[in-house]
Structure 1
Amino acid sequence: MTLLSLSGVSFAYAAGKTVLHGIDLAVRDGGNLGIVGESGSGKTTLLKLLLGLERASAGTVSFRGAPLDARDRGFMLGFRRSVQAVFQDPYSSLDPRQRVSDIVAEPLRSLKIGTDIAEAVAQALRDVDLPPDAAGRYPHEFSGGQRQRIAIARAIVARPALIVADEVVSALDLTTRTRIIDLMRALSTRTTFVVVSHDIALVALLCERLVVLEKGRIVEEGATREILARPSHPYTQRLLASTPRMPARG
């Protein structure tokens, strides 16, 4: 089943500069998708469209076959329950004034999801391998990797169908990065991930399919293994040449 799709989508900011051109993209349930490209390739704008934070200048963004309509509050409530995000910087994405229990519970409260909040938070913390006493502590008491685990717990607590992860490990050291990647691989057995990154090696470890963006256009897409083994576009070849080769795992 297709969760989220873009058909003929272009996007231009108010100044008239078009940053995405005719994007066709499908995110299928159970199939992690990687979106890679250098700075200025259009990744951030594409992420905003996937999250419903911007409206396409042309084309259609659809969720489970229905056009994404920000004016339809009921539809968007269902969309927000089903699609969550994890952002790049675990230091700035968490409110330092709130305890972890309140941070993780925020989607349940804001989306009015009827559940036992304390138990849901406790389960989310268990799912990301944080101890039970983490719930009563504050973000500054944790390391960078632990903070990113808290951010992931917040994203999964409402049991979304899809998580969009934006440069999710780029602010972390190599050892911590590996642990977060392994965590996301474990979670992807029940939640589909879209991973937006400049790091094609990271995407190779998490995603079965790959989309390569250059200057707002998709220049290559397909199975990650095939693209890593036989990149056809010169831009993809340059990306791979500048990145340590790491084979995709099945």
Structure 2
Amino acid sequence: MTLLALSGVSFSYGRGSRVLQDIDLAVEAGSNLGIVGESGSGKTTMLKLLLGLERASSGAVSFRGERLDAANRGFMRGFRRSVQAVFQDPYSSLDPRQRVFDIIAEPLRSLKIETDIAAAVEQALRDVDLPADAARRYPHEFSGGQRQRIAIARAIVANPDLIIADEVVSALDLTTRTRIIDLLRSLSARMTFVVVSHDIALVALLCERLVVLEKGRIVEQGATRDILARPAHPYTRQLLASTPRMPERV
């Protein structure tokens, strides 16, 4: 089943030059998708379109076959329940004034999901390998890796179908990155991920399919294994040459 799709999408900010040009891609349930490219390639803009935070200048963004309509509150409530995000910086993405319980419970409350909130928060903490007593503490009491786990718990607490992860480990040290990647791999058994990153090695560890974005255009897309083994575009070869050799399990 296709969860999210961009069909012939182009985007410009105001009257400026186009940031994205003729984008076609689909996010299929159960198949993690990586979007890679250097700074300025258009990754952030594509992420905003996938999350419904920007409207395409032309083309269509659809969710489960229905055009994404930010003005339709009922539709967007269902969309927000099904699609959640984890952002790059675990230090700025969590409200320092709130306890962890309220941070994780926020999607349940804002989406008016009828559930046992305490039990759901406890389960989300368990899913990201944090103790139940973390719910009573504040973000400043945790390390960067633990804060990112809290952000992931907030994203999964409503049991979404899709998580969009934006440079999810780039602010973390190498050891912590490995642990977070392992966590995401385990969670991908029950939900689909779109991973937006400049790091093709990270994306290869998590995603079965890969989209390579250069200057607002998709220059290559397909199965990750195939692209790593036989990159067709010079830009893809350039990205691969600038990263360490892929692990054997990819």
Whether 1:24 aligns to 2:63 is: no
SS at match of 2:159: coil
SS at match of 2:91: coil
Distance across 2 between alignment mates of 1:216 and 1:81: 29
Distance across 1 between alignment mates of 2:123 and 2:224: 32
Superposed, 1:136-151 pairs within 5 Å as 136-151=136-151
Distance across 1 between alignment mates of 2:90 and 2:7: 32
Whether 1:34 aligns to 2:34 is: yes
Note closer, same or farther for the CA distance 1:156–1:123 as it changes in structure 2 (3 Å cut): same
Aligned partners of 1:3 and 1:64 also within 8 Å: yes
Superposed displacement of residue 248, structure 1: 6.5
Corresponding residue for 1:58? 58
Note closer, same or farther for the CA distance 1:168–1:248 as it changes in structure 2 (3 Å cut): farther
Whether 1:203 aligns to 2:199 is: no
Corresponding residue for 2:152? 152
Letter in 1 for 2:223: A
Note closer, same or farther for the CA distance 1:248–1:224 as it changes in structure 2 (3 Å cut): farther
SS at match of 2:245: coil
Corresponding residue for 2:223? 223
Aligned residues: 250
Distance across 2 between alignment mates of 1:59 and 1:140: 43
Deviations 1:151-190 (A, max 9, x none): 0000000000000000000000000000000000000000
Letter in 1 for 2:132: P
Deviations 1:193-213 (A, max 9, x none): 000000000000000000000
Identity %: 84
Superposed displacement of residue 17, structure 1: 1.6
Distance across 2 between alignment mates of 1:249 and 1:84: 28
Letter in 1 for 2:44: T
Aligned partners of 1:204 and 1:249 also within 8 Å: no
Moved over 3 A (4+): 247-250
Question: Structure 1 length normalisation: TM-score?
Answer: 0.99
Whether 1:73 aligns to 2:73 is: yes
Superposed displacement of residue 239, structure 1: 0.3
SS at match of 2:202: helix
Superposed, 1:91-102 pairs within 5 Å as 91-102=91-102
Note closer, same or farther for the CA distance 1:170–1:248 as it changes in structure 2 (3 Å cut): farther
Corresponding residue for 1:114? 114
Aligned partners of 1:34 and 1:195 also within 8 Å: yes
Structure 1, 239-248 or 183-192: larger mean CA deviation:
239-248
SS at match of 1:97: coil
Deviations 1:34-72 (A, max 9, x none): 000000000000000000000000000000000001111
Superposed displacement of residue 246, structure 1: 1.4
Superposed displacement of residue 249, structure 1: 3.3
Corresponding residue for 2:44? 44
Question: Structure 2 length normalisation: TM-score?
Answer: 0.99
Aligned-residue CA RMSD (Å): 0.8
Distance across 2 between alignment mates of 1:172 and 1:58: 37
Letter in 2 for 1:24: D
Corresponding residue for 1:161? 161
Distance across 2 between alignment mates of 1:238 and 1:11: 26
Corresponding residue for 2:89? 89
Distance across 2 between alignment mates of 1:68 and 1:90: 28
Deviations 1:9-42 (A, max 9, x none): 0000013221000000000000000000000000
Stretches of structure 2 that go unaligned for 5 or more consecutive residues are: none
Distance across 2 between alignment mates of 1:104 and 1:77: 18
SS at match of 1:135: helix
